[in-house]
Copies of this chain bind each other. A is one copy, B any other.
């Protein structure tokens, strides 16, 4: 099948228009009881509702019906990259999220400090959730490990989490996790699925052997496990496939990393939505496309806190006027997946989506919510097609064919 990016490469045109993609992470929800309202429908969202009345609404399917995405595939879909084609390992995401510049020869690994007993069995998979200060100090020690043939980088992420990167020629990225996902057993041995990956697996083993020695007196963090061992996929840049200068305004490392993966400029976004809006305003003249990421609709859903998700949705709504005041040619509000507080987890349910633009086809929606979106003018659509709609409504796509 024709790749959508072959189309956008051929049809893109720069008319100076501006697009804002505002992603409320985990936006979609469920009612607590049959017949009830979802979090978004419960929230008092006058700004989103006003916007809905001059938008096309729709329901975005992140990957395929029934498939619950992680944050990686969820965002790649929104960025217009087929999440089944571009599969990204957790280690790569973690590395990107701490501003580590991954090269094509790098293998990235998410590490978790853990506690092992005298028999080498894991007693705590998160090393008592040590503080970031301790984790950082331990990473500095591990960063000194030397392995012939590769460069070794060890960087802290947060608390018990770290990133390990091996840089060297001929490494593969298909290795099992060493985290056994339970306590009372030893870490698993890393094994590569091909020759290049087996070479990496042996480097992992050597690293873990040295790490055990380095950390032996650092209980509860006296070892680490490895997860998501992977190389960066070969992924075309946002600028190349769409012809827009794109900026990411995201607070959390994961989402900054995802934006960096498609070569958006990752801007300093502060720590609050207000600071993100400050940045959006100050960068307005420098870019064509803005990815704004808001985390708390997801984290409250994962906490199973319906009321908190409602409240955080209302906070998000309050930021909308600062976006509309910039008069973007296209403003999209959506999520990367649903996170119903009833389920305390990501889910497969289609995500409420709103697209406001001069030439959108209005659908007489009265408010922004799951039910209105399910019946909206955009219908149900695959998330990977949202960028086509964004570019089209921005006047940034030429006619296809004569």
Interface positions of A (Cβ within 8 A of B): 1-2, 4, 7, 11, 30-31, 34-35, 38, 53-54, 59, 63-73, 83-85, 87-90, 93, 228, 340, 342-343, 345-350, 359, 361-364, 370-371, 374-381, 385-393, 397-402
Contacts and interface: CB of A to CB of B under 8 A. Distances in A.
Given A34-B54, A59-B379, A364-B371, A70 B391 contact: no
Given A359-B342, A380-B379, A400 B66 contact: no
Given A73-B400, A342-B359, A66 B379 contact: no
A80 to B, nearest CB: 10
B389 A66 contact: yes
B84 A392 contact: no
A399 B361 contact: no
A122 B84 CA distance: 49
A398 to B, nearest CB: 8
A392 B66 contact: yes
Q: Name A's interface SS.
A: loop
B374 A370 contact: no
B64 A388 contact: yes
Contacts of A70: 399-402
A93 B370 CA distance: 42
Contact of A66 (B345, B364, B388): B388
Contact of A228 (B64, B346, B402): B402
A324 to B, nearest CB: 14
A38 B359 CA distance: 12
A302 to B, nearest CB: 12
Given A54-B34, A402-B89, A397 B68 contact: yes
B66 A402 contact: no
Contacts of A362: 31, 34-35
Given A54-B34, A87-B401, A346-B399, A64 B361 contact: no
A359 B88 contact: no
A243 B59 CA distance: 29
A30 B93 contact: no
B363 A340 contact: no
A166 to B, nearest CB: 19
Interface centre among A38, A59, A66, A374 (most CB of B within 10 A): A66
Given A68-B392, A347-B359, 17 more contacts: A34-B54, A34-B362, A64-B385, A65-B378, A65-B389, A66-B391, A67-B388, A67-B397, A68-B397, A70-B399, A72-B401, A228-B402, A345-B399, A348-B397, A374-B376, A375-B375, A380-B380
Contacts of A364: 35, 371
